[in-house]
Amino acid sequence: MASTSPFNLATCARPNILQLQPYRCARDDYKDDGTNVLLDANENAFGPGLALNSEGALQASQTGNATGASKPEIDFLGLNRYPDPHQIELKQLFCNLRNTHHHTPKTLLPEHMFCGVGSDEAIDALLRCFCVPGKDKILTCPPTYGMYSVSAQVNDVEIVKVPLDASNGFHLQPEKINAALTADPSIKLAYICSPGNPTANLIRKEDIRQVLEHPTWNGVVVVDEAYIDFAPEGSSLAEWVTEWPNLVVMQTLSKAFGLAGIRLGVAYTSPEIARLLNSLKAPYNISSPTSALASAALTGPNMAVMRHYREQIIAQRDRLVRELPTIPGVGQFLGGYDANFLLVQILDGEGRPCNVTALAAYEAMAEKRGVVVRFRGKELGCEGCLRITVGTEAEVSKFLQELRVVLGGLR
């Protein structure tokens, strides 16, 4: 019997939600049978930054609390209980990680922290906290991480775009940002990705300071530092939130720590903003297993594992910088070298960056060679570009070999 319900999704759902498209990645197009080399999602190919035993299980003696003292084991038997809603010990570990005093003598405390389900929860929470739907706006600096725009659309928040300077290494343009903030006081948040995605360049501290020093703007600067541990030591501005009341610095365990699967991101900010974020989140948003694994990753020997893997990633990144330009058909690197990926031009037969050639190379690599990278040619200033995640030595070797063959066949 046919339904006679008057329900009409097209008129019942919010228009901005109806316009959304599901998140897609390169792997949606290519079935992974476990043999592909996956250099598309900026993951840590070396594995979790955890000391594991021969069976791949976490060594119980490697876990610890905020003071570094060992616990006998991770207690997963308590999963019948709700997790800690405040995560004070975990927050202290994150504070310990970033209290370097490179930028201020002041000290981060748990009251400066928000823990979320990946950085994406913090991105969305900030929008819900500061932006009135249909009224307020955010500012982004393309090319940049796509979730700022997705979250804005979900929340019915308009986006003002001030592009990075594509002609000059994708640097921030603080004068243009400040002009936009002056012209439109309805802009409440300015999202700055540093190191940038897909540009891989660290944003200069003085450029961020210039935006923070805007004389009249009543809004929040959000610096997304997902890839900060691949940048030079001391680059993180997390502890700077003790100096600036309108600064938020987001980080994640998904990249350098190799823990994308536990979905743990944090935001460092003023105690006042942190209180707002912690008040609007779901009560038990961080699961007990996530908290336990994150705490383990931020202590003792596990930090040493992370640093060891990071050294290998940087070594392979440097190798790609040396060897990629020797392949005919590979052009310039755009952006910088401060992340676990590189943005590189693919050239046509006349030596010009070309989306057609880059897309053909991307498809041939995935479909015929089992190597998946990311086509970024549709991003602003990224004509003909592929974004290549740094893999293991064997993965990088296969990538270089297969790219040489593919580009040779396209020329």
**290 and 145 Cβ atoms separated by less than 8 Å:** no
Dihedrals phi, psi of 343, to nearest 5 degrees = -110, 120
The predicted structure's pLDDT at residue 52:
66
Tell me the pTM.
0.85
Question: Model confidence at 79, in pLDDT bands (50, 70, 90)?
Answer: confident
Peptide bond between residue 195 and the one before it cis (omega within 30 degrees of 0): yes
The predicted structure's pLDDT at residue 205:
97
Residue 5: pLDDT above 90? no
pLDDT in tens, 186-223: 999 999 999 999 999 999 999 999 999 999 999 999 99
Helix axes 393-410, 300-323, angle to 10 degrees: 20
Question: Model confidence at 317, in pLDDT bands (50, 70, 90)?
Answer: very high
Written as six digits, the tokens of 284 are: 């038990």
Residue 9: pLDDT above 80? no
- Cα–Cα distance for residue pair 286/273, rounded to 1 Å: 19
Mean pLDDT value across the chain: 88
pLDDT in tens, 270-287: 999 998 898 888 888 999
Q: Are strands 158-161 and 187-193 parallel, antiparallel or unpaired?
A: unpaired
* Full set of structural domains in the chain with CATH: 11-49+304-410 (3.90.1150.10), 61-302 (3.40.640.10)
